[in-house]
Amino acid sequence: MGAVRPSAPPQTLRLFLALWPGPRTRAGFAACRDGWHWPPGAKPVATEKLHLTLHFIGAVPQPRLPALVEGLQGPCPRFALAFGHAGLWPRGTAVLRPLEEPAALLDLHARLSEALRRLGLPVEARPFRPHVTLARRAAGARPGPLPPLLHWPVQAYALVQSLPGPPGGYRVLCRYPAARRA
């Protein structure tokens, strides 16, 4: 009789939900990032990775992906964000924050929280602080002059995979577009 081999654990995907900017908005965030004065060792976020995280989901077994894509389905409300607050958070995270948190953004965040709970996935207990991370390990960084307000007309939210290992990166798995206007 042969040895019983343990079955391999299912491959997991590291996932999050985000507002994913288009090229023009992303270029505006990159220009803001590039205006900062970074200390040695700072890790500015690559342009193609700039986004606003709605929910970090974490590791999910790949076989659950179709149910997750379906369970997160819903129209994205139409709203716009205006960015104009640059700051440095504890542990050296450089961020750009919107001037206001529109009710539509907060409602979307709450609706996705409920969807994650229904799917049996964790929801972060910390308060939602909408921001775009410009750099990590940036203690002592100084923002440059802020460009004119960055306006972001939100068109969709996305389910995104964080790719493992170097060079890493992100892959948008599914976009949930804004409802069409009548």
Which residues are known catalytic residues?
A: 51, 131
Region of residue 118 (left: phi > 0; alpha: psi -120 to 50; beta: else)? alpha
| Residue 137 DSSP symbol | S
What is d(CA 138, CA 94) in angstroms, rounded to the nearest whole number? Answer: 6
Q: Is the peptide bond before 167 cis (omega within 30 degrees of 0)?
A: yes
**For residues 47 and 102, is the Cβ–Cβ distance under 8 A?**
no
